[in-house]
Amino acid sequence: MIRVANGQGFWGDWLEAPARLVEQGPIDYLTLDYLAEVTMAVLEKQRQRNPELGYAADFPPLMERLAPEMRQRSIRVVTNAGGLNPRACAREVLRRAPGLKIAIVEGDDVTARIGEFLAKGHPLNNIDTGEPIGQIRDRILSANAYLGAFPLAQALTAGAGVVISGRCADSALVLAPSIHAFGWSADAWDLLAAGATAGHVVECGAQTTGGNSQVDWREIPDLDEIGYPIAEIDAGGTFAITKHAGTGGRVTTEIVKEQLLYEIGDPRSYLTPDVIADFTGLDLADEGPDRVRITGARGRERPPRLKLSINYRAGWKATGTLVYTAPDAIQKAQAADGIVRRRIEKLGLRFDEIYTEYLGWNACHGGAAPAACDVPEVQLRIGVRGCVRSDVDRFTREMAPLVLSGPPGATGYGGEGRPKVREVIGNWAALLPREEIRPHVEVLS
């Protein structure tokens, strides 16, 4: 049996969580999941400013902090913190924590091969809209394939204490230690499905231990000291989800079920690079306080294609806000929105999208929000996105004048001043035959 803990559900998660997982109890592996499509776009912006960046900058100082405990407790780390630049990430870790044996997993970056793929007849159409990639071809900044768990497991077998990957499937971070520890073969579909399921359950960190949970959320104890999840996995493919004793939060079948259904699409076909998992036959049982046993994982042959995450230049955006107070706060904000839109039209400004929301009334629920009522205050938020930067910049000068030339009761216009114009990095998802991807492992020291 191995104990695999996950200490980060996204880049920006609680900085103390990984340290507490290491310090508060026995674990064999610490996984850290930093990446999402939006994260890849953020990393691309950072790499544009500095070619030595493009990875999760929180990770190297964390390794510096944890290295002594990791050595003492023989804990190994598996992470996708490498983002768009695993090699630079590894160099910084070695600078801060010399002596760690680090492996990088590369091969996901296929930016330079887009032309090759198109020449071979791979269309790379957008999997959500069906649009052809030709419309963004000359604006592509980076393209990364979702790698699976086997290259990560190879890095562990090579003796790495820290495995740093670029873009890989979230579940692969947990599946890889299982493959390494138990020798699961590439066609052991049920076993691979079990490991991928365990990875999915813990990949969002404390969301599995009571954070962001709808189940009796008022009664979940000590969220300020919430424990992060640990998957105890055995060679036969059954596993339990738990957390360190004495930590906050809660692990129950209801909470784990919430995470199982989070961001999966069809529960009969949870697609990963290594296996297609079927969640519908899983059996969950509370084994005791803060411990849920999961059995019944079933899998079938892996998908023939891998997902690509492609970043591209998608224009410019700016967002402006004003706060309107009662009486008639919503009506005032709506009137102000109308003024801005009419002025934009008369100025001839061109935008791909203009979006308005009213925080305090319908920003979260949209059309499902109750009819306009006399709320004490509401924040008007108007955002524009377009390909012409000068048009977006001109929009940024249209919010402040409303303070004197619009409806009464406007406030909240100080602070940072005129809205900032920011470049938009769009994400394009496509599929590619898996044979085109050639992951490789390199051990550094």
For the record, the structure tokens of 178 come out as 């299982």
d(C-alpha 22, C-alpha 10), whole Å = 18
d(C-alpha 7, C-alpha 34), whole Å = 10
For the record, the structure tokens of 232 come out as 């105890």
β-pairing, 162-165 with 230-233?
unpaired
What is the CATH code for 310-427?
3.30.70
For the record, the structure tokens of 61 come out as 């100082």
The domain limits of the chain are: 2-108+146-303, 310-427
Tokens 């949209």 belong to residue: 366
Tens digit of each residue's pLDDT, the chain (445 residues): 999 999 999 999 999 999 999 999 899 999 999 998 889 888 988 998 999 999 999 999 999 999 999 999 999 999 999 999 999 999 999 999 999 999 999 999 999 999 999 999 999 999 999 999 999 999 999 999 999 999 999 999 999 999 999 999 999 999 999 999 999 999 999 999 999 999 999 999 999 999 999 999 999 999 999 999 999 999 999 999 999 999 999 999 999 999 999 989 899 999 999 999 999 999 999 999 999 999 999 999 999 999 999 999 999 999 999 999 999 999 999 999 999 999 999 999 999 999 999 999 988 988 888 888 889 999 999 999 999 999 999 999 999 999 999 999 999 886 677 899 999 999 999 999 999 999 999 999 7
Report which of 81, 102, 88 is spatially closest to residue 47, judged by C-alpha positions. Answer: 88
pTM of the model: 0.94
Looking at residue 44, its pLDDT comes to 87
C-alpha 256: how far from chain center: 19
Looking at residue 371, its pLDDT comes to 83
d(C-alpha 190, C-alpha 294), whole Å = 13
Looking at residue 434, its pLDDT comes to 97
Report which of 277, 255, 250 is spatially closest to residue 264, judged by C-alpha positions. Answer: 277
For the record, the structure tokens of 365 come out as 């629920």
Three-class secondary structure of residue 304 per DSSP = coil
